[in-house]
């Protein structure tokens, strides 16, 4: 009986420690997953550069980083620039169109008096 109680206590303590560990590590799980993903994606490129550079790891790391920047960030920058130019052209086209003229806030339309204006629907004036 004592063995079962100590075993249950050990399992409870391990579960509590595991839960606390996950709570502390929760902020690091996404960056760790993304780092693993990047290693899997660009590891073969890095190994190719190591073979080409004659086992000089730092030079291969610089070349791998430069290649990643050229292959990923440059096209993304070009897309952002194209989206900015498109937004600018939409803005300029919208500013060239004539504004819709209508009564400004607080002004009345022609022929409208206070008697023929719609009253706001309030619970107290439903029957009027």
Q: pLDDT at residue 93 above 60?
A: yes
Query: Which residues have C-beta within 8 Å of that of residue 68, sequence separation ≥ 6?
Result: 42, 45
Distance CA 25, CA 29 (A): 6
- Is 99 part of any domain? no
- Is 103 part of any domain? no
* Phi, psi angles (nearest 5°) of residue 83: -65, -35
Distance CA 23, CA 78 (A): 39
- Is 124 part of any domain? no
Domain that holds residue 74: 8-94
With CA atoms as reference, report the closest residue to 120 among 109, 112, 128: 128
Query: Which residues have C-beta within 8 Å of that of residue 63, sequence separation ≥ 6?
Result: 49, 53
pTM of the model: 0.49
- Is 22 part of any domain? yes
Per-residue pLDDT averaged across 2-8, rounded? 90
pLDDT given at position 35: 92
Distance CA 30, CA 35 (A): 9
- Is 75 part of any domain? yes
Q: pLDDT at residue 117 above 60?
A: no
- Per-residue pLDDT tens over the stretch 16-62: 999 999 999 999 999 999 999 999 999 999 999 999 988 888 999 99
- Is 54 part of any domain? yes
Number of domains in the chain: 1
- Is 46 part of any domain? yes
- Is 36 part of any domain? yes
């Amino acid at each position: 009986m004592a063995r079962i109680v100590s075993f249950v206590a050990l399992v409870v303590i391990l579960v509590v420690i595991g839960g606390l560990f996950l709570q502390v590590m929760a902020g690091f799980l996404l960056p760790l997953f993304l780092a693993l993903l990047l290693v899997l994606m660009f590891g073969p490129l890095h190994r190719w550069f190591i073979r080409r550079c004659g086992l000089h790891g730092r030079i291969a790391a610089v070349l791998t980083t430069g290649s990643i920047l050229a292959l990923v960030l440059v096209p993304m920058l070009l897309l952002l620039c194209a989206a900015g130019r498109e937004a600018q052209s939409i803005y300029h086209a919208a500013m060239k169109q004539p504004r819709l003229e209508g009564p400004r806030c607080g002004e009345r339309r022609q022929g409208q008096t206070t008697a023929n204006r719609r009253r706001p629907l309030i619970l107290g004036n439903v029957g009027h």
